[in-house]
Amino acid sequence: MPEYSFVSIPVLRRREGLLLARDYREAIAERAAEGWEFVQAIPLETHVEPRLDLVFRKVESR
């Protein structure tokens, strides 16, 4: 059964628009180096505390 992990990256509201507090590509590369597979990015920019949730999956080797 796969194991799932989530990384939340805050979205900052600026006069110019929205800005990620951290580069999502770095977060994906870091998790990939740990054996996690990137599955999906879930944008939650309309929440009170906007964020981008990155979903990762790791399958147990038998």
Whole-prediction pTM value? 0.87
For position 41, what pLDDT does the model report?
Answer: 98
Adjacent-strand bridge partners of 4: 57
Residue type, 46: T
Within 13 Å and on the Cβ side, how many CA atoms surround 60?
A: 4
- Which tens digit of pLDDT belongs to each residue from 12-55? 999 999 999 999 999 999 999 999 999 999 999 889 999 999 99
